[in-house]
Amino acid sequence: MTNPNVTTTETSTQVSTGKMTSVFVSALLGFFMIYGVGFAQPDALHNAAHDSRHSLVFPCH
Amino acid sequence: MNFSSLQRILTTAIISGVFAGILISLIQFVTTIPLITEAEIYESQPVASAPATDAHTEGHSHAAAAPAAHSHGDEDSWGPEDGLERMTYTVISNVIAGVGFALLLGAAMTMRGRDVDVKSGALWGVSGFLVFSLLPAAGLPPEVPGTVGAPVELRQMWWFLTVACSGVGLAMIVFKSSWIWRGAGVVLLLIPHVIGAPHPEVASGTAPASLAAQFAMMTMITSAIFWVMIGSVSGFVLEKLRALS
């Protein structure tokens, strides 16, 4: 296990950049998944996810 | 073994989302979904009330053919057959929603940067419930099929606004120590409710009020269970991943 106290400025910058990229990528992916299940308008998607939309309290219809 | 933060979020979200999605489906099958099915029986019966008919069928493809009927499984657009097929699609939808919510929760946990375990994960889950379920439901209560609402696009916009304000507001209240920040968080939390959720001029619906009330209560209870499962399983997985690295 590496000691977090001995990281150089360069690596800690890389870590924080990597962290923010991960946060951004995963939030964006999560947003699209929620959008597809809860909000997308095409009838087929609405009908497939219908009971989920109502049960998870997404605005439906 | 060393995991990048993205690998950690993805692994955690997939495990907790699939687990919570499957389990909440089983719970919904005996709680919310029988109420939805019952409400659909009322919805498919012809209604005398004109506003209900007009507003509900807005945006539905078969408005002329069946004024008060619902749009899944009809001849105009595809929909799963009632029974096993419909249940399967509900499980798939819940799993996708579970992974999606878990990704957002994982992103928030990573941004916060503190180690999360089962207990603190459950608290993160409670926050998710407040932000994504309870606070939006304060303006737009859970709706059984057949409820007349304002245009769906307006309700969706208000929902997004409320989730964004509630998420940021709650983070400011919980994570900031200065009272100015906390006060600003409370203000942010209240803004969507001061603006007000979009509602139809005349509230109506085809389902009996008692059924709608029971549905509202059940959706809140099951959503709380869903979120606490997502949060605590995420915490559990994160703990295991920390032990591996």
The predicted-structure confidence for A13-48, as pLDDT tens digits, reads as follows 566 678 899 999 999 999 999 999 999 989 999 999
| Subunit contact B107:A56, Cβ cutoff 8 A | no
Chain B CB within 8 Å of residue A37 CB: yes
Task: Answer whether residue A57 shows pLDDT above 60.
Answer: yes
Instruction: State how far the Cα of B203 lies from the Cα of B200, in Å rounded to an integer.
Output: 6
Closest-CA residue to B236 (of B100, B60, B154, B118): B118
Mean pLDDT per 10-residue segment, chain B (245 residues): 86 98 98 96 72 45 39 68 95 98 98 96 98 97 93 96 98 96 98 96 90 97 98 98 91
Give this complex's ipTM. Answer: 0.86
CA-to-CA dists, residue B201 to B91, B148, B204, angstroms: 35, 10, 9
Give me the pLDDT at residue A61, please.
78
Query: For residue B178, what is the enclosing H or E element?
Result: none
Residue from the list B32, B78, B100 with its beta carbon closest to the beta carbon of A33? B100
Chain A CB within 8 Å of residue B110 CB: yes
Instruction: State how far the Cα of B103 lies from the Cα of B230, in Å rounded to an integer.
Output: 10
Query: DSSP H helical segments within B70-112, as ranges?
Result: 84-112
| Subunit contact A22:B156, Cβ cutoff 8 A | no
How is chain A split into domains, by residue range?
A: 24-61
Give me the pLDDT at residue A12, please.
58
User: How many pairs of residues across A and B have Cβ atoms under 8 Å apart?
Assistant: 157
**B166-205 residues touching A, CB cutoff 8 A:** none
Closest-CA residue to A32 (of A45, A17, A44, A47): A45
Beta-carbon count within 10 A of B65 CB: 12
Chain B CB within 8 Å of residue A7 CB: no
Give me the pLDDT at residue A44, please.
93
Angle between helices B209-244 and B84-112 (to 10 degrees): 50
Chain A CB within 8 Å of residue B112 CB: no
Q: What is the torsional sign of CA A17, B120, B222, B230?
A: positive
pLDDT band (50, 70, 90) for residue A5: low
Residue from the list B4, B93, B223 with its beta carbon closest to the beta carbon of A57? B223
Instruction: State how far the Cα of B36 lies from the Cα of A36, in Å rounded to an integer.
Output: 21
| Subunit contact A54:B92, Cβ cutoff 8 A | no
Give me the pLDDT at residue B39, please.
95
Give me the pLDDT at residue B203, please.
83
Q: Do the beta carbons of residue B128 and residue B226 sit within 8 Å? A: no
